[in-house]
Chain A
Amino acid sequence: MTDDQEIVPIEALSDNTTLPPHRSQGQEIWLQFRQHKGAMFGGFILAFITLAVLFGSLIWQVDPGKLDIRSKDWRPIYTLIWNGDVKAGWAHPFGTDQLGRDGLANMLAGGRTSLAVGWAAMLLSLFLGAGIGVLAGYFKKLDGPLMRMTDLFLSLPVLPLLLVAVTLFRQPLRANFGPEGGMFILIVGVIGITSWMHTARIVRGDVLALKEREFVLAARSAGTTSKGIITRHLLPNVISPIVVSATFGLATAIITESSLSFLGVGFPSDFPTWGKMLADAVPRMQEFPERVMLPGVAISLTVLAVNYLGDGLRDALDPRIRGR
């Protein structure tokens, strides 16, 4: 019987070296991602900032709005290194502002708002962009009108329109959802509505190419409905450009929210965000440069981390670059 015998391939066809162990796609992406030092660093910083603003208030239990006029204008703790007689101490490690509100508590609360607006606006614009991109790419009839609309939105003056919309619709939304909730909905809404265009263009291009591939034809000949093809076959394949544009969307949303706060049309004045802390500190920045520096560095560091993360993700998710 020959069944027991092991089949010996001819020499030319046998493997000389042992094959590398099989890796799943997730492992491949992770391996490539780990090689990008900037992206690892960015991911780490972003995780740290997110955790700090989420759970920092559990550790540093000072009310950010509490006025303590006796201990106003404290300097941050590090000024003690070169100047022993300034008002500073561990009671307020980041100092206090002109009304005696604690700097660290404000930074944490402000960061929570800025990041929440950033994430929510990013998710909204991603949802709109991916939806419009898939519809325009998949249905030929919708392609013309939807892309024309995208081009129109791309030539809108975004920041002026945001300013106009926020100032005009502030009152009714505040009346309906409260001062903070109304502003949150308004700012997230307007940023989301004016920043979906790049995602839509990228997704449409990818869907146009994918639609002609054999697996979509196979799915269609097996009787899959358009909805099934889109959700089961197309969307999983365009997930990587969506993820990459999501990171850049997050960065833009954070900067836009801070710009609005800086220009004085953002959240109400007792509700800290990084942009507003910076704007409030600008008139006295000669005496207290740290009040500009701390929120400014926080915004820049977050955005820098997100941008590096996006760069690394783009490299890791692109199979042409992977493994080089």
Chain B
Amino acid sequence: MLTYTIRRLILSIPTLLFIALVIFLLLQLAPGDPMAQVPLTVPPEVKEKMREALGLGAPWYVQFWKWLVQFFWIEPKVFIDYLTNSSTLFGWLPDTELYTKCGAGALEDCDLRMRSWQTRSPVMDLVLQRLPQTLWVVGLAYVVAFFIAIPIGIYSAYKQYSKFDQAGTFITMIGFSIPPFFTGPLLIVIFSVYLGWFPSIYDTTLEVNSWASFKKQLAQMIMPVMVLALQVTAQISRFMRASMLDNLKQDYVRTARAKGLSERVVVLVHVLRNSMIAVVTVIALAIPGIFGGSIITERVFKVNGIGDALIGALFASDMPMVMTLTFIFAILIVLANIFADVMYGVLDPRIRYD
């Protein structure tokens, strides 16, 4: 199992490199000068120097290589330093001094970091500030969707064509069809304007340190999570139902019943485990859509996650930020795919032994 996981992780590196190249070339091919916003009063020779400092004169492969070095070599060094210096988890480890800062009194070979053109602070710092919010919202949406969808799928397959099944099919069809940018404003109107239960804007400065603040955090998480969860629930329960139906007709189910197992064990142990394989497929297939949905949800509820940052960076034509954020989305999707593959291995022994 471990070798299988490691093999999948190694195989994902070319995929990620290819995606990075696609994003990079897309940004390179795009017309538009990153220096267009510089005031006209700046003399041309200064402009030329700025251009050089941004690395704009170099051929594209040099620029790509520099970006790769930034992302896979310098940023990890900074991250490890942060972990051993100031994080609570690994702060007890001896300080590592991998990253050498540039500036006054710096040595000859110092590490420059990629900076955002909007804020002038390192891109990765901004990303790390914003990543947790996105992961919380998307992750919780998946967990919620899972706990709602699996029982619905099981029951509607077990009682096929019953009232419950038909109602469930109709509701999942609706959940499947209503886009998040419609459910979001709809929930805001109903629950924050008319009922006043939840805040319509996500307060990211809130620190959870007491019971009251925890309740506040919960209240502001509910709507973004539910908007995303609705989409996922619909997909998972549809797949779950179809796959349960397939499995319930199999011979091994008859065998299990014939040898006297209770109906509960037959359905919830034997059939469920085999049907979960289809659900894992949904996780893999739906992930790009969910991260797309998270961009819209973050926009609607003003959660300052990476989706919101991407839109802001795009409108400000902040290319380093756009490049890095798009790549982070790609990494998250590839990681989710690997997770799905490993889950296949857990659920289906035939895959493991290949």
Q: Which stretch in B39-47, B181-189, B252-260, B343-351 binds the other chain?
A: B181-189
Are A278 and B182 neighbours in the complex by a CB distance under 8 Å? Answer: yes
**Number of CB contacts from chain A to chain B under 8 A:** 129
Provide the residues of chain B in CB contact with A167, threshold 8 Å: 314-315, 317
A250 to chain B, nearest CB (A): 12
**Chain B residues with CB under 8 A of A160:** 291-292, 295, 307, 310, 325-326, 329
- Quick one: which of A157, A172, A275 contacts B330, CB cutoff 8 A? A157
Query: A155, B330: Cβ atoms under 8 Å?
Result: yes
B 276-291 contacts with A by CB, 8 A: 285, 288-289, 291
Interface size on B, residues (CB 8 A): 48
By the criterion CB–CB under 8 Å, are A164 and B27 in contact?
yes
B181 touches A155 (CB 8 A): no
Contact across chains for B19 and A279 when beta carbons are under 8 A apart:
no
A-contact bits for B318-343, CB 8 A (1 contact / 0 none): 00001001100110111001000000
A263 contact set on B, CB distance < 8 A: 295-296, 299, 311
B82-90, B95-103, B144-152, B172-180 - the one binding chain A: B172-180
Chain A minimum-CB-distance residue to B296: A259
Which A residues are CB-close (under 8 A) to B337? 155
In the complex, A299 Cα to B182 Cα: how many Å?
9
Whether the Cβ atoms of B189 and A296 lie closer than 8 Å is no
Instruction: Kindly report which residue of chain A lies nearest to residue B333, judged by CB atoms.
Output: A155
Q: Does B59 contact A (CB under 8 A)?
A: no
Per DSSP, chain A at the interface is helix
- Residues of A contacting B307 in the complex (Cβ-Cβ under 8 angstroms): 160
Interface class of chain B by DSSP? helix
B118 within 8 A of partner (CB): no
Within 8 A of B (CB), among A262-316: 262-265, 275, 278-279, 282, 285-286, 289, 292, 296, 299-300, 303-304, 307-308, 311
B121 within 8 A of A: no
A171 at the interface (CB under 8 A from B): yes
The smallest beta-carbon distance between B288 and chain A, in angstroms, is 5
Q: Counting CB contacts under 8 A, is A78 at the interface? A: no
B105 close to chain A: CB less than 8 A: no
Complex Cα gap A248–B181 (Å): 19
Flag whether B94 is at the interface (Cβ < 8 A): no
> How many angstroms between the C-alpha atoms of A212 and B1 in the bound complex?
35
Task: Report A-chain residues with C-beta under 8 Å of the C-beta of B182.
Answer: 278, 292, 296, 299-300
B181 touches A259 (CB 8 A): yes
In whole angstroms, what is the CA distance A160 to B306 when docked? Answer: 11
B333:A157 contact, CB within 8 angstroms: yes
A262 and B181 alpha carbons, distance in the complex (Å): 7
Specify which chain B residues have a CB less than 8 angstroms from the CB of A154 in the assembled complex. Answer: 285, 288
- Shortest Cβ distance from A229 into chain B, in angstroms? 31
Distance of A319 from chain B, by nearest CB (Å):
17
- Identify the closest chain A residue to B166 (Cβ): A38
A159 lies within 8 A of B295 (CB)? yes
A308 to B177, CA, bound (A): 10
Q: Is B23 an interface position by the 8 A CB rule?
A: yes
Q: Indicate with 1 or 0, residue by residue over A136-173, a CB within 8 angstroms of chain B CB atoms.
A: 00000000000000011011111111011101110110
Neighbour of B15 across the interface among A155, A157, A163, CB < 8 A: A155
A292-B186 contact given A171-B31, A278-B181, CB 8 Å threshold: yes
Contact across chains for A251 and B295 when beta carbons are under 8 A apart: no
Instruction: Let me know if A255 is at the binding interface, CB within 8 A.
Output: yes
| B179 pairs with A171, CB closer than 8 A | no
A96: interface (CB < 8 Å): no
CB within 8 A of A152: which of B15, B23, B188, B193?
B15
**B167 interface residue per 8 A CB criterion:** no
Residue of B at shortest CB range from A261?
B181
* CA A114 to CA B206, docked complex, whole Å: 40
Given known A-B contacts A155-B15, A157-B329, A163 and B26 have beta carbons under 8 A apart = no
| Most A Cβ at <10 Å: residue of B292, B315, B337 | B292
14 more contacts with CB within 8 A, not counting A259-B296, A296-B185, A303-B178, are A155-B288, A155-B333, A155-B334, A158-B288, A159-B295, A160-B325, A161-B22, A163-B310, A164-B27, A167-B314, A168-B31, A171-B31, A263-B296, A304-B177
Q: 15 interchain pairs (CB within 8 A)? A: A155-B288, A156-B330, A157-B326, A157-B332, A159-B292, A160-B295, A161-B22, A198-B285, A262-B296, A263-B295, A285-B185, A285-B189, A303-B179, A304-B177, A307-B177
Which chain B residues have a beta carbon within 8 Å of chain A's beta carbons? 15, 18-19, 22-23, 26-27, 30-32, 170, 173-174, 176-179, 181-182, 185-186, 188-189, 193, 285, 288-289, 291-292, 295-296, 299-300, 307, 310-311, 314-315, 317, 322, 325-326, 329-330, 332-334, 337
The 4 closest A-B pairs by CB, nearest first: A159-B292, A168-B30, A157-B329, A296-B182
